[in-house]
Structure 1
Amino acid sequence: MAGGQYILWATPHSLYAGKARSYLIKKGVPYREVSAADPEFLGEVIPQVGHMVIPVVRTPAGEIVQDTTAIIDTIEACTPAPDFTPPGPVQQVVAHLLDAFGSNYLLPLAMHYRWSYRDRQELFLRTEFARAIPHMPHEQRLETAGKLMTRFAGFLPNLGVTEAVIPAMEESYAELLAVLDKHFQQHPYLLGGRPSLADFGMMAPLYAHLARDPVPGFLMKTTAPNVFRWTERMNCAEIEDADFPGYNASFPAGDALPETLEALLKVVFAQWGPGLAADAACFDRWVGSLADPAPGQLVSHNGARQVHPHVGRVSYPWRGVTMERGSQPHSLWHFGRAQAAAAALTGAEAARLADLLDRTGGAAMMAIATTRPIRRENNVLVLG
């Protein structure tokens, strides 16, 4: 690998590629992005991963890493600067929480705005999907892309996106955009003067789908322009505008959080809490149905390796409607990182977090637990 580069296999329209790409740009490590149509990726890398998925990174040492969380953990371990880990322990809990929220909870909403409005952005989406289809004339690539798009659009019901809940989903998104826009009027990043896991996790849905696709992109630009500008900022190595002259390029001292972030946390806990509790209950039922739930058991309803498996369906009241969807064990695993960081706090640090949770309504959600831990092993979720 020339020059000790990282290789990022991705596509421009991929939700999770947007998270990994932004991290690599901000980290300042040398990398090269390669299309997912790359023959080496399809013929050599994917068999190592075990299932078709993007993004995937190859390190300069030749290690293949899949999942944006694992990619970031791997690079952070060997490249400490610039440091994206806030120094404050409560700040770290919040960074993990927002990373999990963006990377998991907002996925269905991003998919809704892409596929429910497909008829209004068809050519753009076909052209984007066609970029990852090799060795065909352009018109044939567009035709093949249309078939692939129909497959992805078919995921909506399992994600809970139905006609009955779409109005509530769109209202929840408007609420989220409003608090984010107010925050980014005053701060360049979520935790202050430099990006953290919180920004990279939120970048996943808010860039490729919600800022880049025509219909949600127009919505973001016209109702939350400061959020749109943040998505641009997240793809620049440095802040290149005059929005924040003199802003200290660091995290707040004393484990403090920007005041405007508490409004965002209230939205996170209110919107995500009911579904996360339903996911935990479904997971426990699934574990209880297993004859021998031994450590290492694949988390999957049918034994298939999947990036985002489910272990049954959930149904729960949410914003005046009934949400029905496949369960999301990956959300529980990712949220568990925030819970682990919170559980490690003691004394004054634990008290500060408890006060924050009281103010933002997050105590019940942070206390959600499952009967068995979930860990990630060999690119899939397994029982701990």
Structure 2
Amino acid sequence: MKSLNPIPMAGNPASPYTRKMLALMRYRRICYTVEWGDPRNLIKKMKLEEPKPMLLPVIIFNVDGQNKAITDSTPIIRHLENEFTLRSVIPSDPKLNFLNYVLEDFGDEWVTKYMFHYRWHFSNDIEKAGTILPLMHDVSLDDISHLEFKKYISELQTSRLWVVGSNQKTAPIIEASYKRFLKKLDYCLSLNPYLFGKRPSSSDYAIYGQLTQLVGFDPTSSNIAHAVSPRVIAWIDQMEDMSGIDVHQEDWINFEDVENNLSGLFQEIGKVYVPALLANANAIDTKEKIWKTNIDGTEWEQKSFAYQAKCLKWINDEFSALDEDDQKQITSFLEKTGCENLIVRSKND
């Protein structure tokens, strides 16, 4: 896979993953173009096959001599690391690299539950999203089409809250986790401007992407963030474009600082995300369509997804790539933060 110059991208300002990739590429000073709206327009213009599933953003790369639409942000970021070596977003210490991978996955797969829940659970948020999102596809929509699109997208998305496990029973879990997460992120940012020191990592951008919506778009979650952590509000505004900062190798924190700096965030991962990952993976293994588990003292029930099972496997692949000494140090940190079950041991271990 090779990058085009500039790299074509299609996305939506209300897509956290679009915002993740745009801000990351600005920081890395990678040349790109972006088209807002339906990515099928770019795909059709470039005469490409639609990716399955169709996710945002869509980014065009050259694969085996032919242009192809690619969608998954995490492997795209790793590909860009191979092609563009300057201003890396992957910590050089393998142990920090592993923790960064886990935090990026947490941002992409759990913090997004906050975003989808707040956008489509509360009436004020539904009204705003239903009104604005259609216009982000086409700002020139006529009034009748706008109203029809608003009704369609509002009904569709509120009916899909089950995708992130949001319902009346789990709503208090999601909302309590969001507030704890903001406080713990606030603490991290009180120590350093980014999660892993004085330069941004891919996990910063994963979390940033979700927070552009939670803080910058959706009213209920935004009001909570302003009350809990003004520091996070300022951080989101700055993360939009970090192309001007100078970075150096020594800007990454030392692993010895991780326990003080990042334990709070990993404790939240251990409390809510690890049990969800494990229950989902077990359901996929046993071909169960629904999984249930206890999260933060309450039963959580959700549809099983093969992709989240892959997320757990990929985390374990990252752990397996560490040498024995690094694995021991990571294991000790995970045990201290309630994340020890993230590493799935074989029956022979």
Which TM class, normalised by the smaller chain length? 0.7 to 0.9
Check the 8 A contact 1:11/1:132 in 2, yes or no: yes
SS of the residue aligned with 1:33? strand
The answer for the alignment partner of 1:53 in structure 2 is: 55
Query: Kindly tell me: are residues 275 and 352 of structure 1, through their superposed partners in 2, closer, same or farther at Cα, counting changes over 3 Å?
Result: same
The answer for the alignment partner of 2:35 in structure 1 is: 34
The answer for the alignment partner of 1:114 in structure 2 is: 119
The one-character-per-residue Cα deviations of 1:220-264 (angstroms, maximum 9, x if unpaired) are 122112122222222112478xxxxx9997202467537221111
Instruction: Note the residue ranges of structure 2 that are not aligned, 5 or more in a row.
Output: none
The answer for the alignment partner of 1:24 in structure 2 is: 25
Residue identity in the other structure for 1:322: E
Check the 8 A contact 2:27/2:244 in 1, yes or no: no
2:339 to 362, 365, 370: 362
1:227 to 203, 227, 232: 232
The one-character-per-residue Cα deviations of 1:88-146 (angstroms, maximum 9, x if unpaired) are 11101100000111111222221110011133551454123322147631452243133
CA distance in 2, matches of 1:154, 1:249: 48
The answer for the alignment partner of 2:217 in structure 1 is: 212
Alignment size in residue pairs: 340
Aligned runs of 1:102-251 on 2, under 5 Å? 102-120=107-125, 122-123=127-128, 125-133=130-138, 136-238=141-243, 250-251=251-252
Check the 8 A contact 1:104/1:330 in 2, yes or no: no
CA distance in 2, matches of 1:128, 1:189: 30
The answer for the alignment partner of 1:317 in structure 2 is: 294
Check the 8 A contact 1:194/1:249 in 2, yes or no: no
Superposed displacement of residue 28, structure 1: 1.1
The answer for the alignment partner of 2:16 in structure 1 is: 15
The answer for the alignment partner of 2:285 in structure 1 is: 284
Cα RMSD (Å) of the superposition? 2.8
Q: Which moved more, 1:41-50 or 1:19-28?
A: 41-50
Aligned runs of 1:252-267 on 2, under 5 Å? 252-253=253-254, 256-257=257-258, 259-267=260-268
The answer for the alignment partner of 2:105 in structure 1 is: 100
Query: Kindly tell me: are residues 116 and 45 of structure 1, through their superposed partners in 2, closer, same or farther at Cα, counting changes over 3 Å?
Result: farther
Instruction: Note the residue ranges of structure 1 that are not aligned, 5 or more in a row.
Output: 241-245, 287-310, 371-384
2:313 counterpart of 1:336: yes
CA distance in 1, matches of 2:136, 2:94: 43
Query: Kindly tell me: are residues 221 and 369 of structure 1, through their superposed partners in 2, closer, same or farther at Cα, counting changes over 3 Å?
Result: farther
Residue identity in the other structure for 2:293: Y
Q: Which moved more, 1:341-350 or 1:127-136?
A: 127-136
Q: Which moved more, 1:360-369 or 1:100-109?
A: 360-369
Superposed displacement of residue 358, structure 1: 2.2
Check the 8 A contact 2:43/2:69 in 1, yes or no: no
The answer for the alignment partner of 2:329 in structure 1 is: 352
Query: Kindly tell me: are residues 232 and 67 of structure 1, through their superposed partners in 2, closer, same or farther at Cα, counting changes over 3 Å?
Result: same
SS of the residue aligned with 1:345? coil
Superposed displacement of residue 38, structure 1: 5.9
SS of the residue aligned with 2:90? coil
Give the structure with the larger helix fraction. Answer: 2
In the superposition, the TM-score normalised over structure 2's length comes to 0.87
SS of the residue aligned with 2:300? strand
In the superposition, the TM-score normalised over structure 1's length comes to 0.80
Query: Kindly tell me: are residues 367 and 124 of structure 1, through their superposed partners in 2, closer, same or farther at Cα, counting changes over 3 Å?
Result: closer
SS of the residue aligned with 2:271? helix
